[in-house]
Structure 1
Amino acid sequence: MPTTDTAPTPGTAPDPLVELDRIVKSFSVKVGLRRARVSAVDQVTLVVPEGATLGIVGESGCGKSTLARVVLGLHTLDNGQISFDGQALAKRRRPRRIVEQMQMVFQDPYSALNPRASVGESIAFPLRVQGVGKQEVRQRVAKVLEDVGLHPNYGGYYPHQLSGGQRQRVNIARALALQPRLIVLDEAVSALDKSIQAQILNLLKDLQAEYNLTYVFISHDLNVVEYMSDQVAVMYLGQVVELCPAEDLYRQPLHPYSQALLASIPVLDPGRRSSDEAGLRGEMPSPLNPPSGCRFRTRCAFAMDVCAQQTPVLTRADDEHMVGCHLYAHGSPEPNHGG
């Protein structure tokens, strides 16, 4: 694989590649005879350093995938600002060179591919759209297939002839074809068997190291996020409630929601199983009418009066650990689920 000259100098912090500043995104939906707004992403601020992996976790409906599509420009912002490599991006139209550098790998490896197009045609299509010459297209298609562990002969295969793991390798190859700097992986391994998941995750790590790729890795599987991520953002009902290095989250989660998520991870040892009290209570409220103040308060064992009155903001618990919870802002004892 080609070497890159964009890797940070050892001992120095990498520059931010993606910066999100107070991102807001909502959707108009029909409820009965009227229309209402669904708050999908609300005031999200994140920074993704170049060459790093930001993991995003949370329950279904928390806004993870919407945030990913906003970053890539597939959804238009309502408010806020996205910057890529120091350049502020317009809400609607983006320069072609920016589009080329931001790619996505979707959850379902089969539906992400055109069943009537061969593997080679699927990978070559974005290259042709960007005006790459025929000879270079053939070379790059063969190269990225080899990079993801497939023989170039697979270029003549069709999606129905491949296994699930092979299809996802093709999707990764297609994302690599335009030589991006950022790849958003939206539940990219959740549809695969566990053994195949491990192969794809190791492949992604190898590609990241060799190409200095930056990942935004979205998953509901906390074990997978721990393995892949340098930093983790925990989302609940469109808001980031905790942001910290991955090892800190799994060693000492601070927000009650993060603690409940980690307590819900299945373990085989009966002696290490968490009590029912540690898990999540009730259902996630509707994003059509989220709770006032802290959106998690209706499911939180530590809720106080202030939680219904004021929305908590992310504050620093230490140098790299941020949490949005009134338990910390008002000097109350740390919540502890005993895990």
Structure 2
Amino acid sequence: MALLEVRNARLYYATTKGVVKALDGVSFELNEGETLAVVGETGSGKSTLAKLLVRVWERNVTLVDGEVHLEGREVLHMPEEEFRREIRWRKIAMVPQSSMNALNPVIKIGDQMIEPLLLQGTSKEEALKMAMDALEAVGLPRDTVNRYPHQLSGGMKQRVIIAMSIMAHPRIVILDEPTSALDVITQANIMNLLKKLKWEFKLSYIFITHDLALASELADAVTIMYAGKIVEIGGAEDIYQNPSHPYTQGLVSSVPTLRTDKTLSFIPGEVPSLITPPPGCRFHPRCPFYRDRDYLKGLCDAKEPPNAEIEGKSLRRHLVYCWLYK
């Protein structure tokens, strides 16, 4: 049984221009001890997926459909008080995007770290010990609890946020662009820290990123998202060596390398509006195969693509959602 299973998740945003179908029928599994990278460009629904899993979203957001099963237990429709007490931070924790700006500049680090635990009924003494233990685990002094955010570097702030995510010993940590806005050296240090913590704390990661090359450093499996949909999912080796969806192929071929015989490519066109997404496959207006192959007309532009299983080396099934394989 998978540690986490998401079924047909749909999360829509109400705006003045219309309803944004940010997450539209997403299903996947996360296995115990696995790092699953969720890769896609801006607007693909990656961060919305993170909000769904921790059940933190804005008032203009509506959960239209879906189920989330954690350790076999449905948690998406659990009463909020029960979810806050038993699941959030204790089972599923999150390192948010732009997390270095998530710290309140006028409150000490320790007070910010222990607040979620106090709300769950943990004593202040126990919560403070958990915070200091977590800081030590990420390579920061225990007395960091007495410092203010402005006294820390960018890399140290990121370590504080990571410490907050692990201090209640969750099963799953969601990493939403955890190295954005960091210099290359600090980025490498954070990636090494995440690898170390995964084994020390027996964590499973959902690693959200737009950077396919960065995902390769940490991921056991990769999910490719486009315009609110999953278009391909499989073991990391299978995705990198045998990308099967045209969008995934475009992402892989656009990753810079040191090879002089390879020309960088790009994906033409723009991400479609999620208020009025294209019918059928949402990638078809940008797809080179759709443009060149007449038999795909009336399929890609009219019907939701079915999933097809691709033979691969990984134990994880390699699935692609594309009419090319039917």
Q: Which residue of 2 aligns with 1:128?
A: 118
Match of residue 323 from structure 2: 326
- Matched AA of 1:196: T
Task: Please give the alpha-carbon distance, in whole angstroms, between the structure 2 residues aligned to 1:25 and 1:118.
Answer: 35
| 1:46 partnered with 2:28 | yes
**How does 1:181-260 map onto structure 2 within 5 Å?**
181-260=171-250
1:197-255 Cα offsets, whole Å, 9 max, x none, are: 11111111111111111111000111111111111000010010000101111111001
The CA RMSD over aligned residues, in Å, is 1.4
Residues 55 and 76 in structure 2, CA contact (< 8 A), matched pair in contact too: no
State the match for 1:7 in structure 2: none
What TM-score, normalized to structure 1?
0.87
- Cα drift, residue 268 of structure 1: 3.8
* Unaligned ranges ≥5, structure 1: 1-14, 330-339
> Residue deviations 1:122-165, cap 9 Å, x none?
11212222222232223212211100000112121111111111
The answer on whether the counterparts of 2:224 and 2:231 sit within 8 Å (CA) in structure 1 is yes
Distance 1:93 1:264 in 2: 44
Q: Structure 1 residue 90: deviation in Å? A: 4.1
Q: Give the distance between the partners of 2:233 and 2:321, measured in 1 at CA.
A: 9
In 1: Cα distance, 2:285 partner to 2:209 partner: 24
| Identical aligned residues as a percent | 40
Q: 1:85 aligns with which of 62, 71, 87?
A: 71
Q: CA deviation at 1:263?
A: 1.3
Seen in structure 2, the aligned counterparts of structure 1 residues 91 and 39 have a Cα distance that, compared at 3 Å, is same
Q: Runs of at least 4 residues of structure 1 off by over 6 A?
A: none
Letter in 2 for 1:308: D
Distance 2:211 2:132 in 1: 32
- Cα distance, 1:265–1:308 mapped onto 2, change above 3 Å: same
Q: Which of 306, 318, 322 is the aligned partner of 1:313?
A: 306
Secondary structure (helix, strand or coil) at the match of 1:309 reads: coil
Q: How many positions carry a matched residue from both structures?
A: 308
1:299-331 deviations in whole A, cap 9, x for unaligned? 0000120211211022211262100111111xx
For 1:59, which of 41, 46, 66 is the aligned residue? 41
The whole-number CA distance in structure 2 between the counterparts of 1:56 and 1:289 is: 24
Taking structure 2 as the reference length, the TM-score comes to 0.91
Q: 1:291 aligns with which of 278, 281, 286?
A: 278
The aligned counterpart of 1:98 is 87
Say whether the 8 Å CA contact 1:267–1:273 is kept in structure 2: no
Q: Output the CA distance in 2 between the equivalents of 1:161 and 1:108.
A: 18
